[in-house]
Chains A and B, each alone.
Chain A
Amino acid sequence: MKAHTGDKLTISGHQVGEPKRVGRIEEVRGADGEPPYRVRWIENDHVTLLFPGPDCSIEPMDADHETKGADQ
């Protein structure tokens, strides 16, 4: 898994009704974009140092911006 600062990180809910968690990567601590990442969560603005698991997906910041632009 590789990421850049500013990328969007999403953790899918594991059970029915469990919301997914979405955050923004503020810092990449590993070499060459590898974890751990400092993530600021959208829901509460808290920052967590995270090694993502298999339930995690990362979208490039640019792609997210393009999606938002297409929705508008």
Chain B
Amino acid sequence: MKVSDFTWREPVTIDVGDTIAAAARMFADAGIGSLVVVDDGRPVGIVTDRDLVVRALARGVGSDGRVDGVMSMGVVALDADDDVEELYAVFGRHAIRRVPVVDHDRVVGMVSLDDALVSTASQLAALSGVLSTQIVFPHARDEAAPPAVIDT
């Protein structure tokens, strides 16, 4: 299974020089919890709604502060062709909940830990359905004759 098999969300970006207030408005308008911070179109960081609380509000940074002052610097990403095991590994190694997906050098989507869990759960549900059918209707499509009973 590939990263591309998961549901992607369109990446929402904010410029490195924009304000914390602008980031908050984008969170509200887009109904999301993280933004990719870009400098001249290239990702340089991630800012989350929690960053605004912990790194700005809690430290008295005003809403006119720059978003790059509260972002997490650097962006760990995944290729759309990467195996899903790599997605799980990235979540674990880097203690993050959202990963941008890139096509060459451009961010084309975002996959969250929630997305991965929902997708995996739905696959498990599909497998569970198959298993339930096989339990209720054992050998339903098996056209072979039943085993002979041998008198001893």
Contacts and interface: CB of A to CB of B under 8 A. Distances in A.
A30 B105 contact: yes
A51 B42 contact: yes
A50 B44 contact: no
B102 interface: yes
A11 B77 contact: no
B91 to A, nearest CB: 12
B141 interface: no
The main secondary structure of chain B at its interface with chain A is strand
Interface stretch (B22-30, B67-75, B118-126, B131-139): B67-75
The main secondary structure of chain A at its interface with chain B is loop
Given A29-B105, A34-B105, A48-B76, A53 B42 contact: no
Nearest to B16: A54
A55 interface: yes
